[in-house]
Amino acid sequence: MTNIKETVLAKFAEVFGDNNGADVYFAPGRVNLIGEHTDYNGGHVFPCALTIGTYGVARKRADKMCHFYSMNFENLGVIDVDLSNKIEPDKALDWVNYPLGVVWAFGEKGMKAESGFDLLLYGNIPNGSGLSSSASVEVLTGFILRDLFGFDVTNQDLALIGQYSENKFNGVNCGIMDQFAIAMGKKDHAIFLDTSNLQFEYAPLKLEGAKIVIACSNKKRGLGDSKYNERRAECEDALASLKTMVDIKSLGDLDEATYEKLSPVIKDGTKCRRARHAVYENQRTIEAVRALKLGNIKAFGQLMNESHKSLRDDYEVTGKELDTLVDAAWQVPGVIGSRMTGAGFGGCTVSIVREDAIDTFISQVGETYEKTIGYKADFYVVEIGDGPCKL
C-alpha cells in the first residue's frame, strides 16, 4: 500500500510538475458471490469489496480546467476538459468519460464543482474483467469530489450518483450492485443487499479454511456493447406481462411457485427463461445467505453452482470461456462452489476453494482453459476489503 502511494505520488509530480497539496485516495473493486442479474429486477445480491481497486491522486486547481491522467492508459497522455464548457460524453475522451460522468452527475444534483482539478488514476483491477473497474473509478471520483469541494453526501449517495452517471452519461443501464458494494464495502464481510429498497446487512464471510479465488478469462467485455441492456429489456417485457395477472413491482417480488403458476402469461419463450432466472436467482441468494449464517458453506457452494447453470441455460450470459473455467473448477476436489461473476459475456469466475487445493486448482483449471480456449487465464486469490478511503 505504502509503495503504491509513493509510486502514484511520484507519477503525479512527474505529470503535473509537483505533488504539493495533492492527496491520495483508494476505492476497491468488487466480486459478487451470488445474486447475478437480480439487481435491476428488484432482487437480492451478495457482493463484497476487494483489496484491489483504483488509486487516485487529486488536487484542486484555481481555474476551471480538469487534467486527467491514467497510469493504465499512459499512451493517451493527459486529457483536458474545461468545466466552463457544457459537460457531455465524448468518445474522444476515452476512459475520462467515467470520472467526468460523475462530475456531471454531481452537477445535475445541484453540486457543481467550483473549480477544476488534476487527477491521476492507477488501477490494479484487470480492466473489463467483471470486477467493476468502472464502478470503482466512479465511486473513487465521487469520494474525491466530496473531499475537494465539501459536498454533503453519504457513501450510499456516492453509490447512487455513480450509478446515475453510468446510466445517463455512459449509457449502460446497470443496477446498483457494483457501486453499492464498492462505496459500502467492509473488510471480511459480504453485503446482503435488497435492491428493491436498499436495505442491507453485513454478513461475516467465515470460509473455514477456504479462500475466494478469481479466475479471469481474459476475454474482454465492454458492458456498453454487450447484450446487457438487451437482457434488462427482456426482463422488463416479462414483468409487464406478469403484471397483467398480479400486482407486483418487480420480478424480485415473486417466489418460485408463484412464478411457475403465472409464467404461461409470458408468451415469448426466451423472455420466460430470462424471468425464471431472475426469480430463482433471487430466491437462491436469500437461501445462500441463510446457509452461510448457519455455517453451511457446502450448501452455499452448491447454490453458487446452481447460479452458474441458470446463468448459462436460462439467462445465456456465460459463453464458452466462462463455462470452460467453471466446468474445470467443478472437477477439482476441494472446490466448494464456482460460478461466473458480474455481467458475464467474458470477465471472471469466482470460486470458493479449500486452501490446500488452491495450487491444484490454479494449475488444473489453467491448463484445461489454455488447451480449450487457446490462451491463458489469470488467477487471483483475493481478500475482502473496506470501502473507499483517503490514504
Instruction: Closer to ligand GLA by CB, 19 or 141: give it.
Output: 141
Told to check if 234 binds ligand GLA by CB under 6 A, we report no
Residues 6+ apart with CB under 8 A from 18: none
Told to check if 177 binds ligand GLA by CB under 6 A, we report yes
Q: Which residues pair with 81 in a beta bridge?
A: 66
Closest among 63, 80, 60 to 144, alpha carbons compared: 60
Told to check if 337 binds ligand GLA by CB under 6 A, we report no
Count residues near ligand GLA (CB under 6 A). 10
Q: Residue 10 Cβ, how far from ligand GLA at the closest point, in Å? A: 33
- Cα–Cα distance for residue pair 218/7, rounded to 1 Å: 26
Told to check if 280 binds ligand GLA by CB under 6 A, we report no
Told to check if 194 binds ligand GLA by CB under 6 A, we report no
Told to check if 191 binds ligand GLA by CB under 6 A, we report no
- Cα–Cα distance for residue pair 330/243, rounded to 1 Å: 38
Closest among 321, 322, 318, 287 to 304, alpha carbons compared: 287
Using CB under 6 A, pick the residue from 33, 36, 44, 121 that binds ligand GLA: 36
Q: Residue 321 Cβ, how far from ligand GLA at the closest point, in Å? A: 16
Q: Which residues pair with 55 in a beta bridge?
A: 26, 122
Tell me whether residue 346 is exposed, middle or buried, using C-beta atoms within 10 angstroms of its C-beta: 0 to 12, 13 to 18, 19 or more: buried
Told to check if 42 binds ligand GLA by CB under 6 A, we report no
What is the sign of the dihedral through the CA atoms of 186, 191, 194 and 195?
A: positive
Name the residues annotated as catalytic: 178
- As given in the structure block, the three cell numbers for residue 269 are 419463450
Instruction: Closer to ligand GLA by CB, 285 or 368: give it.
Output: 285
Residues 6+ apart with CB under 8 A from 385: 28, 49, 50, 51, 53, 185, 187
Q: Which stretch binds ligand GLA (CB under 6 A): 154-162, 171-179, 285-293, 323-331?
A: 171-179
Using CB under 6 A, pick the residue from 25, 40, 117, 280 that binds ligand GLA: 40
Told to check if 193 binds ligand GLA by CB under 6 A, we report no
Q: Residue 297 Cβ, how far from ligand GLA at the closest point, in Å? A: 22
Told to check if 343 binds ligand GLA by CB under 6 A, we report yes
Total residues belonging to the chain: 391
Told to check if 182 binds ligand GLA by CB under 6 A, we report no
* Contacting positions for ligand GLA (CB under 6 A): 36-37, 39-40, 174-175, 177-178, 342-343
